[in-house]
Amino acid sequence: MGKESYGIDSHVLGEIAEQIDEVHKLGVQIALVIGGGNIFRGVSGASRGMDRSTADYMGMLATVMNALALQQALEKHGIATRVQSAIDMKEVAEPYIRRRAIRHLEKGRVVIFAAGTGLPFFTTDTTAALRAVEIGAEILMKATKVDGVYATDPEKDPDAERFEHISFTEVLQKNLKVMDATAISLARDQDMRIVVFNLREKGNIKKVVLGKTIGTVVEGCDHAE
């Protein structure tokens, strides 16, 4: 969305594609889960009196629009890209098939997972954790608008503490808004390491892939002990 009040900012889209291109050139296999809040957010739709299931399905369709836009941006960089949708719409995207997704990755294609899990009441965060586990990803990268996990909202509290490392259990116990509880629980149960970082800072995706210390690492062990 960028600085726009709604929709897709082509400049932001181009910057994201450029960052992904940098990592793709390193030979890293990349799968993406994309949200749709810039177009329609299911939870907010439900809060306005809309049936939650209907609102969530509308949100899933919004993610497909974003996925197609990102696919085009990536292909402008010469990156072979496939969109797989959890809701069947064969005219615009492949159906989500785990083995096919893995094969695309093995062939050096970027795969974009759209339409969430295909089910209402599950967030994009949960989709990301689920798909990461399914394809055997080494790490789940949560690209967001802040530079890590904070004890309190950094936009409201300028002195908020930022964690460099935190355990899954701490995130759940302290009710930190990293990802929703279902996503964190799944990642914890499957030992799927998460790095939360700021997408808006150019080059951050590559820094995370190269193992540089940015953002917050969420993993099984409790570093506070």
Tokens standing for 23? 């990592």
Confidence of residue 221 (pLDDT cuts 50, 70, 90): low
- According to CATH, the superfamily of the domain at 139-225 is Acetylglutamate kinase-like (3.40.1160.10)
pTM of the model: 0.93
pLDDT tens-digit map of 27-85: 999 999 999 999 998 888 888 889 999 999 999 999 999 999 999 999 999 999 999 99
Confidence of residue 224 (pLDDT cuts 50, 70, 90): very low
Tokens standing for 209? 């892939």
Report how far apart, in Å, the C-alpha atoms of 125 and of each of 3, 9, 50, 130, 154 are. 23, 22, 22, 9, 20
User: Would 1-137 and 139-225 be classified into the same CATH topology?
Assistant: yes
90-96 CB contacts, 8 Å cutoff, 24+ apart = 92/64, 92/68, 93/64, 93/67, 93/68
CB 193 within 8 A of CB 218: yes
CB 30 within 8 A of CB 55: no
- According to CATH, the superfamily of the domain at 1-137 is Acetylglutamate kinase-like (3.40.1160.10)
- Check residues 167 and 222 and name the one with the higher pLDDT: 167
- Domain extent listing, the chain: 1-137, 139-225
